[in-house]
Structure 1
Amino acid sequence: MQLNFRGREMEKKQEFYDEVYKQGGSRRSYHRHYSESIYYPIWKKALELLKSNTLSPNILDLGCGVGQFANYLFDEGFYLYRGIDFSKEAILLAQKVNYKYRNCFK
């Protein structure tokens, strides 16, 4: 199925994102390791800020997508995490990639 990018209206629909996540996004980047993501430098900076906090933070990730940032956090020892996304496909992929922490995604 070819994605149709006619206007911003389509982006408001869950089905649009379900299809994007199924196909893996641009260059299948959603199906790759988090370190290969274009967002990795941002996530790395966010992790530095989290590590500078003396308390173990509760992390709420709205629009968590396929859980790549979560995977990074889990690898770095942050487990008080909840990821939420309105794409059912994104949540399924996040649960698959982060199977040990699958209950953290809704």
Structure 2
Amino acid sequence: MSSYISIDKRNIPIKFDVRLNKITFTFEVHYNASFDFFTVAVSDSSGTVWTTGEKLVLNKPILSTQSYLGFPSVTPMDPTGKETEITWSNFNVTVFLYVGVAGE
């Protein structure tokens, strides 16, 4: 597998910068404890908002419903293939945000 973005879920909600495709993106990750899911907001260094509150779905690239040129494939995946959804118990344990890998 390619590289992944490591997120310490104990610090969620968390906001951090990641440099991808020569562009610095700001990711903001939140957790909905009532329904056990994660969301992400992404903006770039110029302040352009790429997405807000997008639910992370296993094997579905972030921004896959949009057609943004320049945004790399960032996909929550379980390399073992055992997980069927993203939960608090498996996020950044068996499910990671992989860069440059498209979902299935």
Q: What TM-score comes out, normalization by structure 1 length? A: 0.22
Structure (1/2) with the larger strand percentage:
2
Larger Rg: 1
More helix by share: 1
Query: TM-score by structure 2 length?
Result: 0.22
